[in-house]
Amino acid sequence: MPDTIDFLKVRRSVKPREMSGPGPTAAELDTILTIGARVPDHGKLAPWRFIVFEGDARAHAGEAIARVFAEKHPAAPAADIAAEKLRLMEAPLVIAVVSSIRSHPKVPAWEQELSAGASCLNIVTAATALGYGANWLTGWMTYDRDVLDALGLQPHEKLAGFIHIGTATKPSEDRPRPALAEIVTRF
Ligand SMILES: Cc1cc2nc3c(=O)[nH]c(=O)nc-3n(C[C@H](O)[C@H](O)[C@H](O)COP(=O)(O)O)c2cc1C
């Protein structure tokens, strides 16, 4: 499919600060999530799930993030705490990809976690193909158990990342890509 190859050859992320509304429609969001769930998955374990943040939910999540930040940094200036509140506010839609693995005799945790990464990229790719900007981000809050608890993750679950999705306000600049000669060998 030449169109798909052409698209994949130039796909690149858009910074959330270079996004605004509108975000995907409800039908487009369904498409994005469906494609996020259509990824290689050894053992058909579906070792991922998605949390959608839109509208006020983004601010509520930001308040939880800022609360944990303030507890852990009691000397933090108010401006830093205010900035944490805005973590999910730049793009109109943020999808958290949760890695939800289980013990399996044939499918190691690593493979299940890789499948969550595949979900993240499929979400980025699907949103981009629909004409939106997308960006896969993590940050300290991705690895903070108190934040994860506040966002509703179970103790065994981890976050693969937050995918920010919106309308690009300017063309995204590409970045250098590795030369194949540096990353490819023949055995
Ligand atoms: C797991 C993961 C976490 C990332 N976290 C961040 C982050 O917290 N902040 C950031 O600026 N970029 C982060 N990035 C990089 C962005 O996604 C970046 O925009 C992307 O690598 C651009 O590549 P592309 O143009 O090929 O889409 C992360 C990437 C991955 C794979």
pLDDT band at 2 (very low <50, low <70, confident <90, very high): confident
pLDDT tens, 136-176? 999 999 999 999 999 999 999 999 999 999 999 999 889 99
Distance CA 97, CA 50 (A): 5
Residue with tokens 């509140």: 85
Output the CA 136–ligand 1 centroid distance in Å: 5
What is the predicted pLDDT for the residue at 1? 79
100 ligand 1 Cβ < 6 A:
no
Give the CA angle between residues 102, 126, 108 to the nearest 5°. 20
Determine if the pTM surpasses 0.85. Answer: yes
